[in-house]
Structure 1
Amino acid sequence: MGVGSNLIVRDGGLRAVVIRLGRGFNGIEIDGNTVIAGAAALDAHVAKKAADAGLDLTFLRTIPGSIGGAVRMNAGCYGTYTADHFIWAEVVTRTGEIMRLGPEDLQFQYRQTAWPEGAVLIRAAFEASEGVPEELHARMQEQLAKRDETQPTKDRTAGSTFRNPAGFSSTGRADDSHDLKAWKVIDDAGMRGAMRGGAQMSPKHSNFLVNTGEASADDLESLGEEVRKRVFQNSGIELEWEIMRVGEPAPAKAKLADK
């Protein structure tokens, strides 16, 4: 587990050991055009430290997560993905072996990788092009302003809820362009601002699930499933969750009939 973005833990909790890497895994090193970051390093910190060194990893600046999650989910923004800069990742297996994995091992795809079961990422290396530090920092400020203008950054969300659907070519066959946006098909299905319990599809950006104050995990997941159903009924498009959902539902309440 990184910093909890893109994650819903169901109300019944998780029957598992949860590993959250701490300060010993948040180092950031610069070696020429290579940036080596610990899995616990925040994406924003990596982007800023790289910019200080005149290296362009600006796409990471607005991604609210850590490097471990960025690699695991092939995080991206503004048309650039983690896979575009990835060199290698070091992981620890369940048997305690440290392994180095390359792009061919992870088989990057849109918002997913072929991750070895049970492996824990500890650090990763990225190649970055050169730039002028002042210009890189200015670009990141523009990206932050754009994000704040279009996304509910002040609300409690888990980030983008659904993956953008695959597009369709002129022949009608599915492709991987992802030019069609999840928020658009959610809007078309009339689900912008929809609510269930304390959960709401953000009126500002309808691909964000918002906890308005007292939402349970079930409120959030149930509203998300209702959105998927309505979108499919309206357009035939089956949205895929981008948020990871883990754990078990809350135990059912005892029946009063047992008195």
Structure 2
Amino acid sequence: MSRGQDLLARLGDQLSAIQGRLTPDAEMDKITWFRAGGKADILFQPADEADLAAFLKLLPADVPLLVVGVGSNLLVREGGVRGVVIRLSAKGFGEAERISDTRIRAGAACPDKRVAALALDSGIGGFHFYHGIPGAIGGALRMNAGANGVETRERVIEVRALDRQGNVHTLSNADMGYAYRHSSAPADFIFVSAVFEGYPEDAATIRAAMDAVQHHRETVQPIREKTGGSTFKNPEGTSAWKEIDRAGCRGLMIGGAQMSPMHCNFMINTGSATGYDLEYLGETVRARVLETSGIRLQWEIKRVGEFKLGREVQEFLGQLL
């Protein structure tokens, strides 16, 4: 019996009231943009918020829990993910609606681009930056996603979340504790929706801003590759790509993983990369930048799961290629 099947058996009859989809031994490479990585013991896609709360209430405290979005900035290690991975369904958590002249409510599984499109249709400015972020609102809330000089924290009014026991919490903007690509909201909170606020703006102005975002992405980013977006956070006073380029890592390859020749802060799977290749490449880049510039790049891509035996990647590789 596999780990996933064993965990399902452990939960047993308690699952009879759960409406969402439970998949044992789920292949995480099928739902991540890198198209690499091992299996999750169980993948759970709740039907709606009530279903998610019911599942959390029955899940034993010792079972590890990981929440993922659309997988756009997620690197899963080859050894897979223990416990339960929760992926919010589009049907239950993917809607967005205008709730006032300047406010939008969006579910955590709603694509960022859909919020930008709704804002355009509603004449609400300030959301054009979401047009260029290939993720969902839950991830944007957690990491304070931003682009083109605007960050999520500038638009958030309140966030609805469930804790590990299935209890509902409402967080204000201040409660989220936002910083650059970071939120200090409790790590075990699962965001289910949020209310955002923009400002009145004419459609032509919004459309022009969205077109500029799209043009920028198409001309400087490898958007048609298997990538996870920006690999590293920008250090204080400089850009990650500049330091990577200065360290001679533009186009650097390890196995099937490569730092994009087009935008060298984007790591891509050229077709056969494993989770090991991708993380090994990232740590090699970090080591070279540290040696060249004295800067310790911090990962922006979220790395999860366990290493496969004999395929561990150490932080800051000592031996450079």
Q: Scaled by the length of structure 2, what TM-score is found?
A: 0.74
Question: What's the CA shift for 1:240?
Answer: 0.2
Query: Which residue of the partner structure matches residue 222 of structure 1?
Result: 280
| Per-residue deviation, residues 149-198 of structure 1 (Å, max 9, x unmatched) | 0000111101100000012xxxxxxxxxxxx1000000100010000000
Query: Which residue of the partner structure matches residue 52 of structure 1?
Result: 121
Percentage of matched positions with identical amino acids: 47
The 5 A counterparts of 1:70-219 are 70-167=140-237, 180-219=238-277
What secondary structure sits across from 1:16 in the alignment?
Answer: strand
Gap runs ≥5 in structure 1: 168-179, 254-259
Gap runs ≥5 in structure 2: 1-67, 312-321
Is 1:8 the counterpart of 2:84? The answer is no
Q: Do 1:48 and 1:137's aligned partners in 2 also have CA atoms closer than 8 Å?
A: no
Question: What's the CA shift for 1:93?
Answer: 0.9
In the aligned structure 2, how far is the partner of 1:16 from the partner of 1:115? Answer: 22
Q: Do 1:152 and 1:202's aligned partners in 2 also have CA atoms closer than 8 Å?
A: yes
In the aligned structure 2, how far is the partner of 1:67 from the partner of 1:135? Answer: 23
Question: What's the CA shift for 1:146?
Answer: 1.4
Query: Which residue of the partner structure matches residue 232 of structure 1?
Result: 290
Q: Scaled by the length of structure 1, what TM-score is found?
A: 0.91
In the aligned structure 2, how far is the partner of 1:160 from the partner of 1:130? Answer: 31
| Per-residue deviation, residues 26-62 of structure 1 (Å, max 9, x unmatched) | 1111122111100000000010011100012111110
* More strand as a share of residues: 2
Query: Which residue of the partner structure matches residue 172 of structure 1?
Result: none
In the aligned structure 2, how far is the partner of 1:46 from the partner of 1:103? Answer: 18
What secondary structure sits across from 2:183 in the alignment?
Answer: coil
Spell out structure 1 runs of 4+ moving beyond 3 A: none
In the aligned structure 1, how far is the partner of 2:103 from the partner of 2:243? Answer: 39
In the aligned structure 1, how far is the partner of 2:270 from the partner of 2:165? Answer: 42
Q: How many residues align?
A: 241
In the aligned structure 2, how far is the partner of 1:252 from the partner of 1:220? Answer: 16
In the aligned structure 2, how far is the partner of 1:115 from the partner of 1:13? Answer: 26
Query: Which residue of the partner structure matches residue 25 of structure 1?
Result: 93
Query: Which residue of the partner structure matches residue 176 of structure 1?
Result: none
In the aligned structure 2, how far is the partner of 1:104 from the partner of 1:15? Answer: 33
RMSD: 1.0
Is 1:65 the counterpart of 2:123? The answer is no
Residue of structure 2 aligned with 1:39, choices 102, 108, 133: 108
Question: What's the CA shift for 1:138?
Answer: 2.9
Highest RCO, 1 vs 2 (Cα 8 Å, sep ≥ 6): 1
In the aligned structure 2, how far is the partner of 1:252 from the partner of 1:225? Answer: 17
In the aligned structure 1, how far is the partner of 2:115 from the partner of 2:253? Answer: 36
Query: Which residue of the partner structure matches residue 45 of structure 2?
Result: none
Q: Do 1:194 and 1:200's aligned partners in 2 also have CA atoms closer than 8 Å?
A: yes
What secondary structure sits across from 1:18 in the alignment?
Answer: strand
In the aligned structure 2, how far is the partner of 1:121 from the partner of 1:191? Answer: 36
What secondary structure sits across from 1:17 in the alignment?
Answer: strand
In the aligned structure 1, how far is the partner of 2:249 from the partner of 2:69? Answer: 30
In the aligned structure 1, how far is the partner of 2:208 from the partner of 2:293? Answer: 40
In the aligned structure 2, how far is the partner of 1:207 from the partner of 1:166? Answer: 16
